[in-house]
Chain A
Amino acid sequence: MKKSMRYIKRTLLFLIAIFCFLTGFTPETTHAFTPQVIQKGATGDDVIELQSRLQYIGFYNGPIDGVFSWRTYWALRNFQYENRLKVDGLAGFTTKKKLADQTKFDYGWVHKQIRKGNKFTTYGGVPKETQVKKSTGKTGAGAKGTPAKQGAKGNAAKPGAKAAVKVRTPKQGANIPDGYSQNDINLMANAVYGESRGEPYIGQVAVAAVIINRVESSEFPNTVSGVIFEPGAFTAVADGQIYLTPNEKAKKAVMDALNGWDPTGEALYYFNPDTATSGWIWTRPQIKKIGKHIYTK
């Protein structure tokens, strides 16, 4: 008797598991958003869903890249306006519910396209197959986005016209501090790692801050690459250590420096007192010592 009870229990559990699995991964789930309030500047899966759903009803024509950018922001505000919601650009409970009621979101399909790096759109009423462009192909024939407002007028998108719209960004995007590019970040991470990988975290932020201070100073070249590759400026450039692959710590340090943290007190130079070869560097007014390096004006 006991044995058969256990058996039933097991089967039940198994069935529940299957049920969960199916509901969780069935395409076109209608209620997915996590409970968070999504706002401008956020990144991640919820933003991908938000963009996909807004695109489904034609409010959003930008790339589905998971970055809550300005385009997403205006699209969301238009949606809120059209639906007589509070226009605050925040995807809270009511907004998300309204959005989920009006649209469909195929989690598995969308994420598959993102993983594969395909260009795709999620307009409603258009067969999915026609909305994908494989990443191997060349850049689409011009990304003609219809202005957000225009699409917002009709409730459902006009299939024929929309299917031609290509989305630019194939993979998930990222926020970048103002005035710099992803390339600058990579280059700086390389320089920071090559120069100071043995230093404590704050010492790495400091090296990155010196690079930024130099870019902003009139006495140095005014680009990140110009400053880093100025001959003789950094030993890691001279001995090739800049070409080592930087780790996460160095990248984080660079991000902190780009976001405005400067532990050096506006230093333009630094040197390691144990190995410094130039006598001149000792004549610079010293600000402070961080890790092994002395930072000077």
Chain B
Amino acid sequence: MIRNALIALLVVAVAGTGYWGYKQQQEKNAIRIQSENNYQRAFHDLNFNMDALHDKIGETLAMNSKRQISPTLAQVWRLTSEAHNNVGQLPLGLLPFNKTEDFLTKMGDFSYRVSLRDLEKKPLSNKEYNKLKELYANSSNIQDELRKTEAVASKKDIRWTDVEMALSKKDQPHDNTIIDGFKTVDKSAQGFGETDFGPEVASMHNAKKRNVNKLEGRNITKEEAKKEAIKFFQLKKNVKITVKETGKGSQYRAYSITMYNPDTKATTYMDVTKKGGYPLWVLQDRKVGAQKISVNKAQKEAISFLNMHMKSKMEVVSANQYDNIAVFTFVSTKDGVRIYPDTVSIKVALDNGDIMGYQGTDFLTSHYDRKIPAAKITEQQARTKLNPKFKVMEKHMAIIQNDVKQEVYCYEFLGVIGDETYIIYISAQNGDEEQVKKLREGQPDYASM
């Protein structure tokens, strides 16, 4: 009797477990198929985009009328952006697949610039035409490789989810078709990733490559870097300091310094250039208490800190309070002209007004003694270029970097249209509207609603 009951119980238990396992398996499969579908869609969309891209570039080459080239290039621009989007959804994070993305971005920028240009005034140059021809050939290469990969993958029934697993587990997958395929794609992209897209496109993406080579001074040693840090913070003796040199891959050779102050329980991090020993940035980590001082007072602290450490005249252009922290942005000024590329940010703690951070990399890499050119158009002329609905509240002179990273001398107009505040830059050389920016109001905290 008991035995029968036990058997029955066991049978039920085994059946239950089996059913549960079956359910689990089903759920897992459903999720796997879903993510496989996402990958497949991204991959096939990418293929479609590359096909269309290839065709469109081809059409541009055959076109003669300027009226047609612009819209076609605008389509190229849209397709590159979509293709870029699809590449970003494929599980290739562990593969060196960046050259393709790089190519797509630059291709997009090139077509965007040219399509917006007034081709009547400035038609496609021979060089640009050859560029397009080259792009046409190269996009056909990519297209071929992608097609091959697609064909083999579908013939051998290879799943993206398997590729992803294999990539993340590092063990060699049974079939490398997809991985190898994409490696080849990336290689062919690499070829023209380095082609010259003209100075405009190149400078758009080299902007962040800052270098400190033009800084004056000789290379300093670790010990000197330490002294520099002590001087910068007027440190006392009980502070623990460690210094490390940056590796070969860095954009600029520097020493990374870590300081721990047991009195304030604050750890301060700092990078100092090897050449000349200039502080690049400083960041302090400590517990910040409740706000005790005003943003205005903090700004004064920041200004006196800058006066102590910098020779150039600086002017505050933005102030933002984030809870118990305030961050100020300064730009250098010369003859009353704001020089926006020379930016310095200062972070101040609002519990005691201590400087908690300094970011001077932009300033160090872009600052030089600029000559302020004479304005070729007057302020009155510049004002006529503004939108008539725009009400000017403040005016400054400024040197800014426009969107192709050239420095332009501008009239800076700060004003409002209705309730919104805008900043508008009008070139003082030719009256072009160089930049229009809508300035942010405070953002509501939706999380607390």
Contacts and interface: CB of A to CB of B under 8 A. Distances in A.
Interface string A28-61: 0000000011111111100000000000000001
B421 A74 contact: yes
B449 A170 contact: yes
Contact of A287 (B91, B250, B416): B250
B170 A41 contact: no
A219 B99 contact: yes
Contacts of B294: 36-39, 42
A216 interface: yes
Interface string A248-279: 00001001100111110110000000000111
A223 to B, nearest CB: 9
A50 to B, nearest CB: 12
A170 B296 contact: no
Contacts of A278: 94, 167, 170
Contacts of B195: none
Contact of B295 (A42, A145, A174): A42
Interface in A171-200: 171-178, 181-182, 186, 200
A262 B393 CA distance: 35
A231 B164 contact: yes
A171 B449 contact: yes
A297 B248 CA distance: 10
A114 to B, nearest CB: 10
A216 B204 CA distance: 10
Given A37-B297, A219-B99, 8 more contacts: A41-B318, A171-B448, A213-B208, A220-B88, A231-B93, A263-B283, A277-B94, A277-B170
Contacts of A252: 325
Contacts of B362: 260
Interface residues of B, number: 83
A147 B417 CA distance: 9
A67 B169 CA distance: 49
Interface string B167-180: 11110000000000
A21 interface: no
A220 to B, nearest CB: 6
A200 B242 CA distance: 15
Interface in A56-89: 61-63, 65-71, 74, 77
Contact of A182 (B252, B283, B443): B443
Contact of A170 (B246, B293, B444): B444
Tell me which of A41, A135, A296 has the highest count of chain B C-beta atoms within 10 A of its own C-beta: A41
Given A39-B296, A232-B167, A260-B345, A266 B251 contact: yes
Contacts of A221: 84-85, 88, 101
A145 B254 CA distance: 52
B401 to A, nearest CB: 14
Given A147-B419, A170-B444, A90 B322 contact: no
A169 interface: yes
B192 interface: no
B93 A233 contact: yes
Given A36-B294, A61-B419, A219-B98, A262 B267 contact: no
B267 A67 contact: no
A289 B258 CA distance: 13
Contact of B416 (A44, A74, A186): A74
Contact of B321 (A42, A148, A232): A42
Interface stretch (B46-54, B113-121, B151-159, B434-442): B434-442
With most chain B CB atoms within 10 A of its CB, the pick from A40, A216, A265 is A265
Contacts of B200: none
A47 B7 CA distance: 75
Contact of B250 (A66, A205, A265): A265
A200 B98 contact: no
